[in-house]
Amino acid sequence: MAKPKKRRKLIIFSVIGLVLVALTLMAVLKKRAPAIVVQTEPVARHSLTNVVVANGKIEPVVQVTISPEVSGEIIELPVKEGQQVRKGDLLVKINPDIYIAATNQAMANYESSLAARASAEANLEKAQADYDRNLELFHSKLISESDFIGFKSARDVAKAQLDSADDQVNVNQATLESAQEELERTIIVSPLDGTISKLNSQVGERVLGTVQNAGTEIMVISDLNQMEARVDVGEMDVVGIKPGQKAWLDVDAFKDRKFAGVVTDVASSSKDSNLPQGYSTGSSQSQEATKFQVRIRLTDKEAFRPGMSVSADIETEYRTNVLTVPLASVTTRLLSPTKMDPPKTAGTNTAASTNAAIAGTNGAVSTAKAKESTKMTDVVFVVKGDHVQAVPVKIGICDDNYWEITDGLTNSEEIVSGGYRAINRDLKDGSKIKKGLATSEEMKP
C-alpha cells in the first residue's frame, strides 16, 4: 500500500519538477524585447514633381525712374500717382529762368565773338594789303629792311588775331548750345507708355539734377501690363532652377487663387556679392543665408500692384510613375559594414605568397571599407513578418508626401510608415514590431 502511494508521489513531483525546469530554461534562454507599435503600407508608384518654394515681391517688368538732369524748382507737375501716361506726355516742368538767362548770356557772347572775328578779318585784310604794297618797294630798295619787317609782322599778328577770334566763336557757340540744351531739359516728358506707380515730388520742390549727383527721384513709371515675381532662392536650390521652368504663384492679396508663371531669369551672383569687397553689412545681416534672385513672368493677368508679396512654387524636376515611399518612412541609421555592399573577393591563385598578399590587401580594403561604411545611411524599415529589416536606400526627388526611391526597394515590399518616434528613434534592424494605430505619444517627435 505504501509503495503505490510513494510511486504516485514520485510521479507527481517529477512531473511538477520537469514542468518547472522546462519553463525556467525557456524563460532564461528566450530574449524578449517589447514590440514596437508601427503603421505600415506597401511601396507604391507615383508621379512626383520637385518643387522649390521661394518668397518675394511682384514688380513690373519695365519700370523707369524719372530724375531731372538739371536742378531747379518744379513749377508744373500735371500728373498724379496712378495716372496712366503715354510716351511724350509732359511730366515735369522745372523753372527755366536761370537757364534762359544763361542761354541769353551765351548768345550775347557768341554774337560778340562773331563781331570780334569780323574785326580781325578786316585788320588782316589791311595788314595783308600793306605787306603786299611794301614788298614791291622793298624789292625795289625804296624802303629799308626794318620797315619791311614791321609790315610783315603786322600781317602775321593780324592773322593770329583772326585765328583767335575764330576759336572764340567756336567756344561761345558750344556754350550757347549747352545752355540751350539745359534749357530744354527743364521740360521732362514720359519715355514710355505706363502708369505713374510712385510720385515722390510736388510742385514747388527743389530738385537736384543728375549731372554731378544721383539726382532726385521725382517719380516712377511702370508698365503694369507685364508683371513679374522677383523671388529669393537659397544657394542649395538655385542650381536646379533654369529659365523656362513652370511656377505657381500665391499672391497674398488674392487668396485661394494660384497664378501661373514662367521663370525668365536666374541671377548669376547672389545679392550679397554685389557689395564692395570688405564692406560689412553688420552682424545680423552677415549671418543670413545666401540668396539669388529669380524672376518669374506672370502669364495670368490680374490687377497686380508693384510690391505685393508673393510665394512661388517653382517646378524643377518631374518623375513619372516611380517607386515612392512616404516622407516619414525614410530615416538615417549607422549601419554595420555587413549591411553595406561587401567588398569583392579575389580570384583563386595557386601561389601561396600571392594568396597571402591578396589576403593582406583584401584585409586592408575591408578595413578601409568598414571605416567608410560607418557613416549615416538613408534607410527604410521593411516589414519581415513580425520584425523589420533596415534596408539602405538611394533617394531621388521628393514632393510634399513622397520620396522617390532609386535603389534598394522593390514594388511588392511593405514598409514602416509611422509613428514618427518609432522610425526615427526606436526601430533598429531586427526590431520586433506590432501593427496598430499610432497613439498621440508615438506621433510626437
Compute the least distance from the CB of residue 273 to another protein, in Å. 48
Residue selected from 27, 214, 351, 352 as contacting another protein according to rule CB under 8 A:
27
Q: Cell 523589420: give the residue.
A: 388
Q: Indicate whether 26 belongs to the interface with another protein (CB under 8 A).
A: yes
Site for another protein in 283-312 (CB under 8 A): none
Residue selected from 2, 3, 18, 32 as contacting another protein according to rule CB under 8 A:
32
Q: Indicate whether 37 belongs to the interface with another protein (CB under 8 A).
A: yes
| Residue among 427, 428, 445 nearest 39 (CA) | 427
Compute the least distance from the CB of residue 41 to another protein, in Å. 22
Residue selected from 18, 19, 115, 376 as contacting another protein according to rule CB under 8 A:
19
* Contacting range for another protein; rule: CB under 8 A; set: 25-33, 111-119, 239-247, 349-357: 25-33
169: alpha, beta or left? (left if phi > 0; alpha if psi -120 to 50): alpha
Q: Indicate whether 255 belongs to the interface with another protein (CB under 8 A).
A: no
Torsion of CA 129, 135, 141, 143, to 10 degrees: 40
Q: Indicate whether 435 belongs to the interface with another protein (CB under 8 A).
A: no
Q: Indicate whether 53 belongs to the interface with another protein (CB under 8 A).
A: no
Side-chain-side CA neighbours of 440 within 13 Å: the count stands at: 0
* Contacting range for another protein; rule: CB under 8 A; set: 21-29, 49-57, 71-79, 208-216: 21-29
Q: Indicate whether 153 belongs to the interface with another protein (CB under 8 A).
A: no
Residue selected from 18, 24, 126, 211 as contacting another protein according to rule CB under 8 A:
24
Compute the least distance from the CB of residue 333 to another protein, in Å. 21
What phi, psi does 198 have (nearest 5°)?
A: -155, 130
Q: Fill in the amino acid letter for 78.
A: P
**Nearer to another protein (CB atom), residue 2 or residue 352:** 2
* DSSP secondary structure letters along 327-386: GGG-EEEE--GGGSPPPPPPPP-S-HHHHHHHHHHHHHHHHHHHHHTTSEEEEEEEEETT
Question: Which distant-in-sequence residues (6+ apart) come within 8 Å of 303 by Cβ?
Answer: none
Distance from C-alpha of 123 to C-alpha of 128, rounded to nearest angstrom = 8
**Nearer to another protein (CB atom), residue 271 or residue 435:** 435
**Nearer to another protein (CB atom), residue 27 or residue 352:** 27
Residue selected from 18, 20, 118, 359 as contacting another protein according to rule CB under 8 A:
20
Q: Indicate whether 8 belongs to the interface with another protein (CB under 8 A).
A: yes
Compute the least distance from the CB of residue 329 to another protein, in Å. 22
Question: Which distant-in-sequence residues (6+ apart) come within 8 Å of 330 by Cβ?
Answer: 378, 379, 380, 393, 395, 403
Q: Indicate whether 445 belongs to the interface with another protein (CB under 8 A).
A: no
Residue selected from 1, 2, 3, 5 as contacting another protein according to rule CB under 8 A:
5
Compute the least distance from the CB of residue 436 to another protein, in Å. 9
Longest dimension (CA), the chain: 194
Which 3 state secondary structure label does DSSP give 158? helix
Compute the least distance from the CB of residue 384 to another protein, in Å. 19
Compute the least distance from the CB of residue 385 to another protein, in Å. 14
Q: Indicate whether 23 belongs to the interface with another protein (CB under 8 A).
A: yes
Q: How far is CA 431 from CA 153, 376, 384, 386, 434, in A?
A: 118, 19, 10, 9, 10
Compute the least distance from the CB of residue 301 to another protein, in Å. 46
Q: Are 419 and 442 in contact (CB under 8 A)?
A: yes
**Nearer to another protein (CB atom), residue 12 or residue 171:** 12
| Residue among 30, 34, 10, 136 nearest 432 (CA) | 34
Q: Indicate whether 30 belongs to the interface with another protein (CB under 8 A).
A: yes
Compute the least distance from the CB of residue 326 to another protein, in Å. 22
Q: How far is CA 419 from CA 425, 430, 435, in A?
A: 10, 17, 11
Distance from C-alpha of 14 to C-alpha of 54, rounded to nearest angstrom = 78
Beta-strand relationship, 433-435 and 36-42: parallel
Quote the cell numbers at residue 128: 595783308
**Nearer to another protein (CB atom), residue 24 or residue 273:** 24
Q: Indicate whether 9 belongs to the interface with another protein (CB under 8 A).
A: yes
Compute the least distance from the CB of residue 19 to another protein, in Å. 7
Q: Which residues bind another protein (CB under 8 A)?
A: 5, 8-9, 12-13, 16, 19-20, 23-24, 26-27, 30, 32-35, 37, 439-441
